[in-house]
Amino acid sequence: MLIAGLVLLSLCLLAFVLRVPLLTGLGNFLIVADELHPADVIFLLNGDFNTRPFHAAALYEQGLAPRIVIARVEPGPVETMGLIPNETDISVRILERLGVPPEAITVLPVPGGVTSTYDEATMLHDYVVEHHVERVILVTSAFHTRRAGWIFSRALEGLDVALEVAAAPNPTYDATNWWQSEAGLIALNNEYVKLIYYLVKYR
């Protein structure tokens, strides 16, 4: 028992000494940032409109794609009451405010609205087939990129289309310091839980 206790104490001390690279590694594992090439469309995921549409607009401004596509998200009770706009509409307004022409933005109408990353992947599959898209840049939050890239790759499997993932940076935290803020802690924790859920449900 004494030896086991000493081994455990040593492991704890080692983990403490190496806590920064270990914690950074947890963050880096979630992030996929492909080398981007000119594409047919930028597919913008709903959620985190404080970062994602800004990154999509920047990529559009760089000339990486002539069109930004987004699927309409399911309306919530507060939105149904007319108190707040639809989350997708907020992202569209941000894009337009940042200089993306309205005619370069496509909002995919979805009966009832999309409710998950899986739903959005399904919508992109249908859009790719209908419009003969050959290359897509997928824009989402940095910590969301691994799960999103995985489920979108599965949704597009069998189609002749290239998918590249673009990680929208968060100005308040990244892989090197996420544990120093409440928002970073919540984001990383939630993403690992969802990643495990997706791997189990959609494997």
| Tens digit of each residue's pLDDT (9 = 90 or more) over 44-73 | 999 999 999 999 999 999 999 999 999 999
Helix (H) or strand (E) run with residue 183 in it = helix 182-201
Which of 2-11, 93-102, 124-133, 191-200 shows the lowest per-residue confidence on average (mean pLDDT)? 2-11
Q: Helix, strand, coil: what percent of the chain each, to 5? A: 55, 15, 35
Architecture field, domain 28-170 = 3-Layer(aba) Sandwich (3.40)
Closest CA to 37 of 59, 5, 69, 4: 59
CA-CA-CA-CA torsion sign (43, 56, 75, 154): positive
Average pLDDT over residues 183-188: 95
pLDDT digits (tens, 9 = 90+) for 94-105: 999 999 999 999
Q: Determine phi and psi for 129, rounding to 5 degrees.
A: -65, -45
First to last CA, the chain: 41
Residue in 89, 42, 44 with CA at minimum distance from that of residue 66: 42
- Encoded tokens for 174: 């990244």
Question: Given this model, what pLDDT does residue 106 score?
Answer: 98
Which H or E run includes 163?
strand 162-168
What CA–CA distance (Å, rounded) separates 9 from 197?
33
Per-residue exposure over 138-175, b if at least 16 CB sit within 10 Å of its own CB, e if not:
bbbbbbbbbbbbbbbeebbeeeebebbbbbbebeebbb
Place of tokens 């109408």: 109
- pTM confidence score: 0.90
